[in-house]
Amino acid sequence: MHNRSQNELQSRNLKSLVFMAAVAFVFSCLSVRLLYLQYVRYEKNFQSSEDNRLRRIVLKAERGLIYDRNGTLLVGNRPSYQIVIKPGEIRKMKPEAKAELLKRLIHMKDSQGEAIFDSAVIDTMFQRSSWKSHGTLRILEDASEEQVSIVRERSFELPGVTSTVESRRSYPYGTLAAHLLGYTGEISDDQLELPEYAGYSSGDRVGQKGLEKQYDGEFRGEDGVKYVQVDAYGREVGTIDGMQNVPSVPGYGMVTTIDLDIQKVAEEAFPDSVRGAVVALDPRTGEILAMVSSPRLDPNIFSLKRRERNKGWAKVALDSTRPLMNRAVAGVYPPASVFKLVTSGAGLEHQLVTGHTHMPKGCTGGFAFGARYQKCWGTHGNLDLVNALRLSCDVYYYQLGLMLGMERINEFGNRFGLGHKLGVDIPGEKTGWLPDSVSFNARNKGNGWRWARGLILNLSIGQGQLVTPLQEAVLAGSIATGKGVYRPHLMKELRDVNGNVVGHYIPEKIFEGNMSESTHKTLLAGMDSVVNHPGGTGKRAALPDVRVGGKSGSGEWKKGEKTHAWFVAVAPLYDPEIAVAVIQEAQGGGGAKSAPVCHKVLEAYFAKKHAKDSSEVQK
């Protein structure tokens, strides 16, 4: 019995020793771990703790606003709530936790029982978070107040998900001036690779077209930063003393050269169902007063939610009428009979003709050149140069073109910017083309076509060259002023958020546009006759109290189709303040179709000027 009790005692003592040893071992491990965490891993753990406690929030700068020349707002900003995920936090999650978060977001509904998030968008952004470590990824754009409040209320079960507010562009006039203003969009991965976007991050919104793109750096401003304290669920609970916050600096605003009233009239005058363009500018400075491209485009679609934006984008991108193209600067067309101003100028400069010169053969409806018979649009008889311009007689210019040759004709056109980019301050401008034997052969080598002298017949009347509506407006305006070609531009002033002018455009002469005084007077007489003679092709552009000059054109482009309708106009003719070019694709005669559009634009300009002058006199 004694031995049994002794054995039990020894057994209990042994168990106690084992238990105590186990306890000692556990505490030893904990102590070692504690020492390791406190001393070896101190810096890293402290930083991790601070990262969980602190949050660095980028304060996006307000994008600069855009105004017309009179201070009317053309482009503004509106607040937009975004629901975003933080890739850095998502990457730290265990697979099962990430899957659970994904499931919660997909099944989250609003008060109407509608799903808040698009499962495809969430899945895409979660995949992107696996290789993106900084910034945020949007899973819901333009969220409603209800959607934001639901996410905030459930933030404790949505780690790595938060809401932010940013500004989106607002275009209060919709399609008005849309092509020149442009639009913004989220920066693409391809753009991030380019050197000009070195300071940008994924998710930033940048200018994609028009002025928004050209002056993106000026509009963008400088982002700021603030540091806040967050709780275990990532909710902000206060600011951090001692942390220096940096406020954002709004971008520069722009006062453009556009006159909203004239822009409205130009858009209303141009048929909405017709493709084409209108450009109105001041030839003395290059300031663009109005620019229309049709079909029109509403840039507000690029500031909508992703799904709606994608639908809008698909609609315009697949539209065969190509509404995304700014035809005013990127549309290239044969200049048609407007080019007769150039052929006339070359003949006058080389003293082969005067305003009273008649050609050897009168117009009987066509002109024989070798075995070829080139028709005229009418039968005009024996004309001098001024009347040939008035009636736009092809036969007269066939003969003048053969006398000159294309090199001399093109040289005169080059004086006024044809065949060159004019350097307008929006992207996408095309150069156009003035063909000669060398460029023609190079361009048509693949077709096996070769230059022949007979081509001059077509080229002398503007059938074969390529010009933009902007070039045609500049041509007409600079011929009329006789004082050179000024770079067309849309930026008038840049201003900071307080309204202080920080930059302004200085008019720049880019071509001398030189010609003799006699050449200048004769070309003005021809443009005068086109509009103000009872038989002129452009009489629909005339104004009762202001002398208008112009030139019509009907550009052939496809056999059997109606011609492109051109008209250019300047006023007052002998002291020009405004030049207008209008083209309507496949609409027929320029004098019948496009001259009335010029008339309305000129009428609006001088009515506004008269009203302004009257008010200043009354003061």
Per-residue pLDDT reduced to its tens digit, 285-301: 999 999 999 998 877 77
164 burial level (CB within 10 Å; 0-12, 13-18, 19+)? middle
Predicted confidence (pLDDT) at residue 308 exceeds the cutoff of 70 = no
Find the DSSP H helices in 415-490.
437-443, 455-459, 469-481
The structure's pTM equals: 0.86
Pairwise CA distance, residues 608 & 602, whole Å: 10
Calpha distance 299→316 (Å, rounded): 11
Which residues, in sequence order, are bridge partners of residue 229?
A: 54, 238
Poorest-confidence range of 178-192, 208-222, 345-359?
A: 178-192
Which two tokens mark 197? 């976007």
The predicted-structure confidence for 149-173, as pLDDT tens digits, reads as follows 998 888 888 888 888 888 889 999 9
Cα distances (Å, whole numbers) of residue 588 to 143, 234, 359, 582, 594: 49, 66, 28, 13, 9
Distance of CA 310 to the CA centre of its chain: 18
pLDDT in tens, 482-493: 999 999 999 999
Instruction: For tokens 């200085």, name the residue.
Output: 506
- pLDDT, residue 305, reads 61
The conformational region for residue 464 under phi > 0 = left, psi -120 to 50 = alpha, else beta, is left
Find out whether the peptide bond into 271 is cis, omega within 30 degrees of 0: no
pLDDT of 15 higher than 90:
no
CB 590 within 8 A of CB 566: yes
* CA pair distance 588, 474, nearest whole angstrom: 23
Residue 455 has pLDDT above 50, yes or no: yes
* Predicted pLDDT of residue 614: 66
Q: How high is the pLDDT of residue 525?
A: 98
| Predicted local confidence at residue 333, as pLDDT | 97
**Among residues 182, 396, 432, 176, which one has the least CA distance to residue 292?**
176
Average pLDDT over residues 583-604: 96
The answer on pLDDT for 619 being more than 80 is no
Mean of per-residue pLDDT scores for the chain:
88
Asked whether the CA dihedral 217, 219, 220, 226 is positive or negative, the reply is positive
Type of residue numbered 78: R
Amino acid code (one letter) for 261:
D
Residue 431 pLDDT exceeds 70: yes
Counting residues of the chain whose pLDDT is more than 90, the rounded percentage is 57
Tell me the residue type at 249: V
Q: Which residue spans within 144-270 are E strands per DSSP? A: 161-170, 184-186, 205-207, 224-230, 236-239, 253-256
Give the pLDDT of residue 124: 85
Mean pLDDT (whole number) for 178-201: 88
> CA 35 to CA 37: how far, in whole Å?
5
Whole-angstrom Cα Rg for the chain: 36
47-56, 146-155, 366-375, 581-590: least confidently modelled range: 47-56
Pick the most confident of 26-35, 44-53, 343-352, 450-459: 343-352
Range in 47-56, 142-151, 194-203, 390-399 with the lowest mean pLDDT: 47-56
Mean pLDDT of the 261-268 span = 97
pLDDT at 8 over 70: no
Is residue 186 a contact partner of residue 157, using CB atoms and an 8 Å limit? no
Identify the band that residue 448 occupies on the pLDDT scale cut at 50, 70 and 90: confident
pLDDT higher than 90, residue 41: no
Q: Over the stretch 322-370, which tens digit does the pLDDT of each residue have?
A: 888 999 999 999 999 999 999 999 999 999 999 999 999 999 999 999 8
| pLDDT of 389 above 60 | yes
Cα-based angle 269, 270, 275 (whole degrees, multiple of 5): 175
The pLDDT value given to residue 164: 85
Which tokens in the block code for residue 257? 């050269």
CB 260 within 8 A of CB 74: yes
Of residues 351 and 557, more confidence is placed in 351
Give the Å distances, CA to CA, from 195 to 150, 198, 473: 41, 5, 35
Question: Which of 256, 260, 172 lies closest to 214, judged by CA?
Answer: 256
Beta bridge partners of 226: 57
For the stretch 525-538, pLDDT in tens is 999 999 999 999 99
In this predicted structure, what is the pLDDT of residue 47?
47
pLDDT band at 48 (very low <50, low <70, confident <90, very high): very low
CA nearest 160: which of 113, 230, 239?
230
Residue 457 to residues 340, 378, 463: CA-CA distances in angstroms?
Answer: 12, 16, 9
Most confident stretch, 10-24, 28-42, 274-288: 274-288
Evaluate whether 534 touches 544 at the Cβ level (below 8 Å).
Answer: no
State CA 435 to chain mean position distance.
30
**Which of these, 311, 306, 300, lies nearest to 78 by C-alpha position?**
300
Q: How many CA atoms lie within 13 A of 512 on its CB side?
A: 5
Strands 137-143 and 564-571: unpaired
Average pLDDT over residues 251-267: 97
Amino acid letter, 574? Y
pLDDT (0 to 100) of residue 46: 47
